[in-house]
Each structure stands twice: as C-alpha cells, then as structure tokens.
A and B are shown apart, each in its own frame.
Chain A
C-alpha cells in the first residue's frame, strides 16, 4: 500500500469515525442526575438500541460486543434468523454499518462475494458474516466450508443459542444432548434431544484456517480480544459465541450472563482458541462446577431434575461425562489464580473499567 493510499484510508476512517463512531461526550453524570446507560457508553455502536430483541437476549448482546470492536470500516452479511429479524423490520434498521441479509443458508457465500468485490475494487473494508447455529452448524454449513476453503478475508461469527429460536425453538445440530426443544421434546418415550452437540470447532479446525475460537457473552473482555485479534488477520477466521436465549432455554431474562458463565464453568462450553487448526489457548476454569448447577437454571433441562427418574439420572451422568471429557481433552482445569481464567478475566476487566471511570 502506498503512503497516499494509507493517508486516504486514514482520512476516510477519520470521517467514518466522526460520522458514526466516537463523538466527544459530555462529562459523565451520575445516574441520579439523569445520565442514561447509553450516555455512559461512548464506544462505536454499530448495532443501535431500540431493536426488537427479547429481554435478556444473549445474541443481541454478543452482536453489540462484536461490532464495538470490529467497526466502523466493515460490512456485514447476516443470515436469516433472530438477529436479522429483530434488527431490520422495514422501514427501520438498527445497523450503523453497511448490512445485507439475503437468505438463511448463504451468509458465508454472500460475504465471499462482498470480499471479492472489495478485492476487485481495491478496498480494505473487512467483511463480517453472521449466522445463528441453524445457519452455521446446519443449513449454511456447506457455504461456510466453501468460504473457509477459498480463504476469503472474512470474520464469520456464529451466535450459538443452541436451537432454531427464530422459528420457535426447534432442535439444531448444536442443541446439547438431552435438551428439550419443540422438535426434540421430553416425554415418556424421550429425554429431549437424542444426539450430541456437533463439534463444529473441530470441523472448522480441519480447514486449517489462521484462527478460530469459541467465546461467551459471559466473558466480554475475552470475546472482544478475540474479535480484535481476528480483525487483524488477513484470511478466514471463525468465532462461535455462546449466547443464551431466555425464551428457548427457559430461564429468567436477568440470568443470561449467569447461565452463560455456568456453561463455561462446568466444562460443557469450553472456551478455546485454535490457530491453523491446532489448539493454541484455552480459558482455564478456576473452580469447576457440576453440570447440574448449569442445567438447573434452565427449563429445557427440567426433565433431568428428577432424582427419582432413573432415565433423568442417567442423562445427567451422561452430560457430566461430556463436560468431564471436555475438561480433560482441552486441559481446562486451572491451577491457582490466573488473570485469564474464568474468574480472573472478569475481575481484570472489571478492575480496568473501574480504573478508567
């Protein structure tokens, strides 16, 4: 890139930031003097408030966190799903970056085309592709695999809420074993979903892309660090973000973060990073919880909370074994206090935020 290009790019970014990004903010007022949460949040906001997500939506939170550190020089291809529906009911849109929704199963392919267009037109704008677990693990999987194989410079983010929530909580290949959904309901003959959650990261790893990782809305500092890292890579990168759905998981909407945190702490949703398909880093668990602590908060596992039902006991044992396997396989058990473990990462972030304010 010539100096001239660099100057032009810096100039354009400055314009973008001026228009959509950080604005000089009034000195912060304490809450009791009428300052809103929004006023206290002078970050780049690509996903505006006022959209139609449910109270406590993990996906909306995850998307906002991703966009905060990805924008403003980005364009988004969004698969059909909750995120698309609740952000763009015509004639409104909550997006402050160029955003396109085409279909359920093609966000990776549409993003590929957008990236090819940027290359052809000599632009550096980074392309993001968003999909839920339905659009990523299932129906859009082929397009995603193609995108990774062709080595497009795209960050694909999967907001994993472990079922088809937009159509009313039907099982996906990401739904955990034994979870009850409307197409894998628990009943006298069934204990919820009969199959296992697909190991998507394992499949992504087999593409040997530069970077892939899992993250959780319970650990925003970790999530945002991963987004920033992926944004700096010229090539395909993949992020799966565990995003609780209060409606589908059947937990109170104020428990979103707590539920997400427990999924990590029990080992059922391991937080890992992979480079070129090799495990590069994990978030250690400071104090491992039993899976029951995680499951008990959610109605979708309610049928397992029956100590008198031998089938429930068996499935609980099964899920505990899956969590134990993850802990062993990824070596998740932390030793002592680690600033990057499940407790440390939050404390560090909280301390930093407190220090700035």
Chain B
C-alpha cells in the first residue's frame, strides 16, 4: 500500500514484515528513528520479536551474532561511531559467516563531531567481509532491506544496507509497503545450517592457525564474490513479484554514445540525475552503483565502456590516498583498453549540502588544467589558513 512515511519508519515496517526473531539495537543519530519505530511496533503488538535493548552498539552486534548463530533471524541498525564501536564484532560476524541484516544510516565519523551524512562509517568497515548495498531513495531502502534477508540466508553472509542519514532516514516519501502475505510468499523462512543445536553439537569460532587461515580467508573472499549473481538474481525475483527493482548490482542511464560518465552511490545519485536533467545537452552517462561489496568489476567495466572521462563521486576519503570508490574504480579499470580518464571528487562530506548545480561544476572541472586527480570538491580552501590548503 502506498503511504507517506519517514524513511526510518518505512525501514522499521520493512524489517517487521520480515518477522525477525531477534532485534538488538542501540540508538544513535540518525539511526534512532528506526529503533524507536521498531520498539513501537513491538509495544503495539504489530511485531512479535525478542527486542533486546542493549547497553552499547558493541553488544547489539554481539547479540545478533549469538541469535543468528542459534538459528534466529536477526536484525540490527547503527550509524557512525556505533558502526566503529561494532567494528570488531562486524569482522567477527562476517568471518564466522553468520547471516543477518544491518541497516547503516550513513553518517560522518568523529573527530570533529558531526552527525550529518557521508559514507565514512560504512567505508571504515568495507574490509570486514560483509555485503554492502547502497540505496538511492527510501523505496529502494525498503525493498533492499527485505531483499537483504533473502541474500543473507542464501549466501550465509551478513548484509549491510546503507542509506544516507537524514537525507533518507528523516525524509518523508510516498512509499509502497508490501503486505505481509506478499513478503511471506517471497521470503523463505530463516534457515542456518550451522546453527547451534544441542541435538547436534557444533563448535563455532574455533582458533585457526597458519595451517588453515589463508584457506579460510580465500573461501570468505570467494563467498563474497559469489554473492554477485545472488544479488542480481534476488533483485530480478523481487522485480517479478513487486513490479519494481532496485537496479541489481548497478544501473546506467543516459545516452549510449556518451563520452562523459558520472558514478556515485546512495542518495547523491538522485541529486545528480536531477542536476543532469537541468543541464542542456549534458550527454552524460549516470552510473548508480548499488553493490559496493562485492564490487561488481565486470559490470563496472561494461558500464564505463566507451567513456573518455569518468567522474567518480566519493562520500568519504582515505586521508593520504584520496577517494575510496575512486581508487577502487581505477583498480577495476586498470589494463582495460581505452579506459576513461578518472576524475575523483569527494563531495558532501559531513553533510555539506550537495546542490543540483554541482553537476555543472563537476563537468567543467574535467577541462580545468589546474584540477588534481582527486579533490574534496566542495571544500572552500579560502576558509583555511594558507598552510592547511
């Protein structure tokens, strides 16, 4: 049914539709409304789940680990500092290949303290071995959340659904929320083959020495890579059942013969699309990357074919290196004949507003002889003392 809902409220409803056995979360801005809405659904008797109100994000992640390891469908959500406090457990969950779902309401990481949106939090745990999917709008966030439960149990991997804090979590949109009957039909019951069970005792989380460790890491890498077709297949199945998709691994739009491309993740894609629509004769190919982990290398090479220039938008940086997505795209395109020139820009760090007009500036920067291969594009250097520029 189509309803006007706040992003967080919609996510809580989507989670409830998946009927998790255990939910554990600790409030942090801008994820708070998700936890509050879930608590309300429990209090109102609309969601029957063991809601564990933990004393920290660290315990939130640990609780869902223990719950999923015991055969329960489990869900948690966090942001920023919370994701970092969870970091040790997040690596652990993925290393033990425990299927569960987490929403990250993307927010900048302190210091300096900043509660607004960028991608520094989920980027900080990109090497944890989780699947990471980014959402452009709240409809996608709802659909991706439900898809995430299916992807997770099909791959025995944890899935992180990344949605931009405030920009999505605190924005009202008209959203089509599926019915419980539809979701029950589409989402199989939770099953975890290695679940702890006294009638068949297993030991999870053993000490692994040098004799086996590289093999464990290899198989983890292989498992995350093999999730690529699962993500695509799941979105196709969703599209068949619900008459709309989320774009599988990535989507491209714009003229086939475009020479300039822009690639971005999350809500920024919507802003760029809107900006491009207002730019006359832009002739730009817009690439929306949904799957950041696993990174769809083949699909990225295909999506950038024929381009002379590719603007890669980052919402987080690795100080001393530059853009994270930008660096990864360069690595993907390395050795590809006629690969486009990469222009890597970080924009909107710490919630700096991204106006539609930024599209024009980004396009003009391509021809700027003074442009550097990477920049914090919207930083006003005149605000800094000369020695910091």
Q: Contact residues of A with B, CB < 8 Å?
A: 12, 15-16, 19-20, 72-75, 77, 84-85, 88-91, 93, 95-103, 105-106, 109-121, 125, 142-143, 145-146, 149-150
Q: Once the chains bind, are B204 and A100 in contact (CB under 8 Å)? A: yes
Known contacts A109-B58, A113-B74; A97/B65 CB under 8 A: no
Cα A344 to Cα B65 in complex, Å, equals: 45
Cα A237 to Cα B133 in complex, Å, equals: 41
Cα A101 to Cα B205 in complex, Å, equals: 5
Interface presence of B212 (CB below 8 A): yes
CB pairs A–B below 8 angstroms (17 shown): A16-B199, A75-B198, A90-B207, A95-B201, A101-B203, A102-B92, A110-B62, A110-B69, A114-B69, A114-B70, A116-B63, A116-B72, A117-B68, A117-B70, A117-B72, A120-B50, A143-B55
In the complex, per-residue mask of B319-348: 1 if CB is within 8 Å of any chain A CB, else 0: 000000000000000000000000000000
Q: Once the chains bind, are B212 and A91 in contact (CB under 8 Å)? A: yes
Give the residues in chain A near B88, CB-CB below 8 Å. Answer: 103
Give the distance to chain A from B181, nearest Cβ to Cβ, in Å: 22
In the complex, per-residue mask of B82-102: 1 if CB is within 8 Å of any chain A CB, else 0: 000000110010001000000
Q: Once the chains bind, are A16 and B198 in contact (CB under 8 Å)? A: yes
Q: Once the chains bind, are B65 and A102 in contact (CB under 8 Å)? A: yes
Give the residues in chain A near B5, CB-CB below 8 Å. Answer: none
Between A90, A113, A118, the greatest number of chain B beta carbons within 10 A of the residue's beta carbon is seen for A113
Interface presence of B368 (CB below 8 A): no
Give the distance to chain A from B130, nearest Cβ to Cβ, in Å: 16
Interface presence of B53 (CB below 8 A): yes
Give the distance to chain A from B96, nearest Cβ to Cβ, in Å: 7
Cα A72 to Cα B208 in complex, Å, equals: 26
Cα A118 to Cα B71 in complex, Å, equals: 9
Q: Once the chains bind, are A110 and B66 in contact (CB under 8 Å)? A: yes
> What 5 pairs between A and B have smallest CB-CB spacing?
A113-B66, A109-B62, A117-B72, A98-B196, A146-B55
Give which listed residue, B58, B59, B198, contacts A97 with CB less than 8 A. Answer: B198
Q: Once the chains bind, are B201 and A96 in contact (CB under 8 Å)? A: yes
Known contacts A98-B202, A113-B52, A121-B72; A106/B89 CB under 8 A: yes
Q: Once the chains bind, are A143 and B207 in contact (CB under 8 Å)? A: no
Closest to A146 in B: B55
- Which B185-215 residues have a C-beta within 8 angstroms of A? 196-199, 201-209, 212
Q: Once the chains bind, are B69 and A100 in contact (CB under 8 Å)? A: yes
Give the residues in chain B near A112, CB-CB below 8 Å. Answer: 24, 52, 54, 59, 62-63, 66
Give the distance to chain A from B281, nearest Cβ to Cβ, in Å: 56
Known contacts A102-B62, A102-B65, A103-B89; A117/B22 CB under 8 A: yes
Kindly count the residue-residue contacts between A and B in the assembled complex, taking CB atoms under 8 Å apart. Answer: 164
Interface presence of B49 (CB below 8 A): yes
Give the distance to chain B from A94, nearest Cβ to Cβ, in Å: 9
Give the distance to chain A from B8, nearest Cβ to Cβ, in Å: 23
Give the distance to chain A from B67, nearest Cβ to Cβ, in Å: 4
Give the residues in chain B near A113, CB-CB below 8 Å. Answer: 22, 24, 52, 62-70, 72, 74
Q: Once the chains bind, are A100 and B196 in contact (CB under 8 Å)? A: yes
Give which listed residue, B52, B65, B67, B71, contacts A150 with CB less than 8 A. Answer: B52
Give the distance to chain B from A326, nearest Cβ to Cβ, in Å: 31
Q: Once the chains bind, are A109 and B59 in contact (CB under 8 Å)? A: yes
Q: Once the chains bind, are B209 and A90 in contact (CB under 8 Å)? A: yes
Interface presence of B56 (CB below 8 A): yes
Closest to A112 in B: B63
Give the residues in chain B near A75, CB-CB below 8 Å. Answer: 70, 196, 198
Cα A84 to Cα B204 in complex, Å, equals: 11
Cα A68 to Cα B199 in complex, Å, equals: 17
Give the residues in chain B near A85, CB-CB below 8 Å. Answer: 207
Give the residues in chain A near B55, CB-CB below 8 Å. Answer: 142-143, 145-146, 149
Give the residues in chain B near A121, CB-CB below 8 Å. Answer: 21, 70-72
Give the distance to chain A from B56, nearest Cβ to Cβ, in Å: 7
Give the residues in chain B near A119, CB-CB below 8 Å. Answer: 50
Cα A115 to Cα B21 in complex, Å, equals: 11
Q: Once the chains bind, are A100 and B209 in contact (CB under 8 Å)? A: no
Give the residues in chain B near A74, CB-CB below 8 Å. Answer: 198
Known contacts A102-B89, A102-B92, A113-B64; A120/B21 CB under 8 A: yes
Closest to B95 in A: A102
Given known contacts A97-B198, A117-B66, A145-B55, what 11 new A-B pairs fall within 8 Å (CB)?
A15-B199, A98-B203, A101-B204, A102-B92, A116-B22, A116-B63, A117-B67, A120-B50, A143-B62, A146-B55, A150-B54
Give the residues in chain A near B199, CB-CB below 8 Å. Answer: 12, 15-16, 19
Between B197, B202, B206, the greatest number of chain A beta carbons within 10 A of the residue's beta carbon is seen for B206
Q: Once the chains bind, are B206 and A90 in contact (CB under 8 Å)? A: yes
Q: Once the chains bind, are B207 and A103 in contact (CB under 8 Å)? A: no
Known contacts A15-B199, A93-B206, A100-B196; A109/B66 CB under 8 A: yes
Q: Once the chains bind, are A100 and B201 in contact (CB under 8 Å)? A: no
In the complex, per-residue mask of B17-29: 1 if CB is within 8 Å of any chain A CB, else 0: 0000110100000
Give the distance to chain A from B330, nearest Cβ to Cβ, in Å: 35
Give the residues in chain B near A20, CB-CB below 8 Å. Answer: 201
Give the residues in chain A near B92, CB-CB below 8 Å. Answer: 102-103
Give which listed residue, A103, A114, A150, contacts B196 with CB less than 8 A. Answer: A114
Give the residues in chain A near B89, CB-CB below 8 Å. Answer: 102-103, 106
Give the distance to chain B from A108, nearest Cβ to Cβ, in Å: 8
Give which listed residue, A16, A103, A125, A145, contacts B62 with CB less than 8 A. Answer: A103
Give the distance to chain B from A110, nearest Cβ to Cβ, in Å: 4
Give the distance to chain A from B28, nearest Cβ to Cβ, in Å: 16
Give the distance to chain A from B22, nearest Cβ to Cβ, in Å: 5
Give the distance to chain B from A126, nearest Cβ to Cβ, in Å: 10
Q: Once the chains bind, are B21 and A117 in contact (CB under 8 Å)? A: yes
Give the residues in chain A near B208, CB-CB below 8 Å. Answer: 90
Cα A100 to Cα B209 in complex, Å, equals: 17
Give the residues in chain A near B209, CB-CB below 8 Å. Answer: 89-90
